[in-house]
Amino acid sequence: MRKSGAKARGILMYLREECANKATILKDIHNLMARLKASSNPGDTDADCAESVLRDLCEHDKGAVASLFVDSTRVLQTASFQSRKMRRLFAAFPEVLLVDTSFGTNVNRYKLFSFVVHDIHGKGQYVQHALTTSESKAHMKDAVSSFKKNNPGWRSIRVIVTDKDKKERSVLAEAFPQARMLLCQFHVISYLEKKVVELCDGSQEHKQALKDIFAAMVYANSALQYERCKTLLMQQLGNHKEHPLFKYFLKNWDGITEEWVSYQRSNVPHLGNNTNNRIEAKWAKLKDLIRPSASVYECLATLLGLQGICENEYEVELNKIGTFCLPKDDEYQCMDKRQLGELKQLANMVSMHAFDMINAEFKAALRVSTSYKICIRQDSVVELLNEDEKRQHLLSLEVHI
């Protein structure tokens, strides 16, 4: 546990649970950790120790991959890894990628640069971890290049959700030109609220009104609603077009609404991922487990241990046996037995998360008000035209087993 970066208090709690018949105090743990540290010497440098940890991963987990990048003096710059299961998860769910960076992971202030995908249960699963000395473009490119090299399915990425870090976004946009870049809506609101405090005078009520307008902008479900919010913003700023907040908004946000306003993202297959906070929630637990004085290789060992726990939890969820009954819903009363039977069969074939998404589309397709013009093309694609909404949908008939 010490080698994995566990704190003394965490080790004490574990020992008290597992060895209830032995009286152990915190001082005993500190003394034990001091003796272990003095007697261990896994390598001469952080790079040597990190290499030892990652080689051990690749030897014991066939299919795992890892990369180390050092400078001319053998100082570790970037270390990345993927277990075999992480690679399989990305291969299965490559369409949406969530990316963010955590600061100050250890005593050397390394940054944790992680990729997460959206699984069949609607939850986030790690598919790569990388520790970097900084958020420079060069170090981010190291992590991204390793990911692309070891995951040929990267071309299937359609959406990447990030915060507004310009270096991070430019590296990702260059590496994955086929993907649509979206901003985390939580971070957008947070950035705008900070600017309200920074650039506006007035009462707390006035500032709160501005914050509420920006939040309404983020979640606007039409162009008309967005424009109304802009008008309200101007009114709150006294119709002063040269106001610093309004100029900041026009320069930094009004020109990229397709990345952060809800109605501009409705046709993007982001699977409901409007924020990358699920990564930050996981990182909060990670920082609780890692000692501030932990070395880089201890951080890597901790990451590997936590990743193993995540993978075990996913397997338990995936292999859970059970049945699913349709909830009470008035729309089910209008369906015939064949349609209900098809829906019940589907409910027991896919995850709850997948069923909820399909169920909404299934019910919409059966409504009397729904009308589609159907054209079957020669390339195994069906073209659906909703004449009321003037929307075109393409449905592939190819089946992969």
pLDDT in the model for residue 288: 59
pLDDT in the model for residue 89: 92
CA angle centred on 356, ends 354 and 358, rounded to 5°? 70
Helix runs in 327-393, H state only: 337-347, 352-366
Helix/strand/coil percentages in the chain, nearest 5: 50, 15, 30
Reply yes or no on whether the pLDDT at 74 is more than 80. Answer: yes
The encoded tokens of residue 22 equal 């032995």
Identify which of 35-39, 154-158, 288-292 has the greatest average pLDDT. 154-158
Q: Which residues, 6+ apart, have CB-to-CB distance to 19 below 8 Å?
A: none
pLDDT in the model for residue 356: 78
DSSP-derived letter for residue 22 is S
Choose the weakest-confidence range: 31-40, 141-150, 298-307.
31-40
How does pLDDT run across 4-15, given as a tens digit for each residue? 455 656 666 655
- Decide if 167 contacts 100 (C-beta within 8 A): no
pLDDT in the model for residue 276: 47
pLDDT in the model for residue 13: 63
**Mean model confidence pLDDT for the chain:** 79
CA angle centred on 283, ends 278 and 289, rounded to 5°? 140
Nearest to 104 by CA among 305, 275, 293: 293
How does pLDDT run across 55-65, given as a tens digit for each residue? 989 998 999 99
How does pLDDT run across 162-172, given as a tens digit for each residue? 877 778 889 99
Give the residue, 202 or 270, on which the prediction is more confident: 202
Catalogue all structural domains in the chain, each as residue range(s) with its CATH number.
8-39 (no CATH), 46-184+275-316 (3.30.420.10), 192-265 (no CATH), 330-396 (no CATH)
- Decide if 366 contacts 334 (C-beta within 8 A): yes
Q: Which long-range contacts (CB under 8 A, 24 or more apart) does 44-48 make?
A: 45/74, 45/75, 45/76, 46/75, 46/76, 46/108, 46/295, 46/296, 46/297, 47/74, 47/75, 47/76
The encoded tokens of residue 331 equal 């729309």
